[in-house]
Amino acid sequence: MATARVEHDISSFGFWRDLTFDQREETFAKLRAESPISRHRPLESHLLEPEEGARDFWGINTHELIQKASRDTKTFSSASGIFMEDFPDVVIQGSLSFIVTDAPRHKELRGIVWSAFTPGNMRKLEHDIAAQAKQIVDEIAPLGEADLATTLCKQLPGRLFANLFGIPPGDLREEVMQCAEDMASWSDEELRDGKEAIELFGDAAFRLNDIALDAIAARRENPQDDLLTWVCQAQTEDGTLEDWEVGSFFALLSAAANDTTRHTIAHTIWNFERFPEQKQLWQANLTDATLGEQLAEEAVRYATPLLHFRRTVTQDVEFGGVEMKAGDKVALWYCSGNRDEQVFDRPMEFDITREVNRHVGFGGGGPHYCMGAALARLTLRSIFREIYSRMPDIRVVGTPRFLDANVVHGVKELRAEWTPER
């Protein structure tokens, strides 16, 4: 099988900074057709420069192979990190928790919080999610204009996370949301605001841990009815988790809320602008539960808020027609898998009526599939009902400003106008 290099170098900063998603997709479409598994020079990074002599990495570009690699965790390990950079172990363990572990530890740690995110429990939370969505729209609907990226898209998942972990409204909750944003913003020079990338990421991760440690001490002394208390009390084969392990859960889940749901909401508001017939269809059927479920899935597929995650090959293996060596890095390009013509009819169209939508926006399956997927789907359905029933003439002003990043497909500014609600 060919492993062609491509015109647009996906390892370069410029590929992600200077090209639109649709322009980048031209490159990935070529890869899917000519080189489903492609080889690339080390990814350029603001965070950590590749070490001298660093190996090229493999890009897995098709939906089928992304799923296959995701489910083969014995060959494709997460334990060395999910980003292409080789973080120090203390940073990995302190900020990414169980998603940088493999079996059996991964299963044990994931199981601690899994029950909080099951569809059954999400249904119990549906009222609270709808209430939070309503409250945020209550705040912005009278304004008539706003940057929705910060006033709405950032606020909803951030507040839901804070409620789950028992963080009350106020300065501390705002600080948690800002730290979660900083953990995904290291490659964007504007958002770094003069800081080094590793400094921004590290400061945010360790501050989240400090906040968690204070809260953990309080929960151990005075348990509450929240997820943080439950994690503190959870039993493993070795007993209860150490405080730093609970803190790592806290940092991971706060960042996950920011990275996925937040940016999917923003992208979808923009996509309704680009595909007005889909907006009209949704507004005509706001109470249609089936259409709401389809909207949530298509919102994630089309946005693909996480562009890729890394895996590391554990042993020499032939995979997808190429010979991989132990220690090779692999990028699972979700952004490419979600445009795969072999899986999706008209993949470049935003279509909320897709009845079968096997996207990889929550991962390619297997034990690392996003356990917050049910929460994300409920959140998306609630906020889109609220926005388009109460701000029906909402329109995006100009063009969104996107995050300069090759991991998170983020929206950092989304200005909009609408008729103020009286």
Least confident of 239-248, 320-329, 392-401: 239-248
Q: What is the pTM of this model?
A: 0.93
* 420 prior amide bond cis, ω within 30: no
Q: Is residue 234 part of a domain?
A: yes
Q: 65 pLDDT exceeds 80? A: yes
Is residue 60 in some structural domain? yes
Phi then psi for 181, rounded to 5 degrees?
A: -65, -40
Asked if residue 165 belongs to a domain, the reply is: yes
Question: Is 7 contained in some domain?
Answer: no
Higher-pLDDT residue of 234 and 331 is 331
Q: Which residue has the higher pLDDT, 252 or 262?
A: 262
For the chain, give the mean pLDDT.
89
290 assigned to some structural domain: yes
pLDDT at 5 over 70: no
Among 71-85, 130-144, 246-260, 370-384, name the one with the lowest average pLDDT: 246-260
Backbone angles phi, psi at 418, to 5 degrees: -165, 165
Position 6 in a domain: no
The Cα–Cα gap between 84 and 78 comes to 11
* % residues pLDDT > 90 (the chain): 58
Q: Do the domain assignments include residue 1?
A: no
CATH number of domain containing 83: 1.10.630.10
**Own/partner pairs, 169-172, CB within 8 angstroms, 24+ separation:** 172/211
When pLDDT is averaged across residues 323-333 and rounded to a whole number, the result is 97
* Structural domain boundaries enclosing 97: 13-417
Region 376-403: mean pLDDT is: 96
- pLDDT higher at 309 or 233: 309
Between the CA of residue 22 and those of 19, 27, 207, 382, 409, what are the distances in Å?
A: 8, 9, 36, 28, 12
* pLDDT above 60 (res 2): no
CA nearest 102: which of 91, 90, 114, 110?
Answer: 110
What is the total count of domains within the chain? Answer: 1
- The verdict on residue 351 lying in a domain is yes
Decide if 350 contacts 302 (C-beta within 8 A). yes
Lowest pLDDT segment from 197-206, 286-295, 345-354, 408-417: 197-206
Q: Is residue 86 within 8 Å of 54, Cβ to Cβ?
A: no
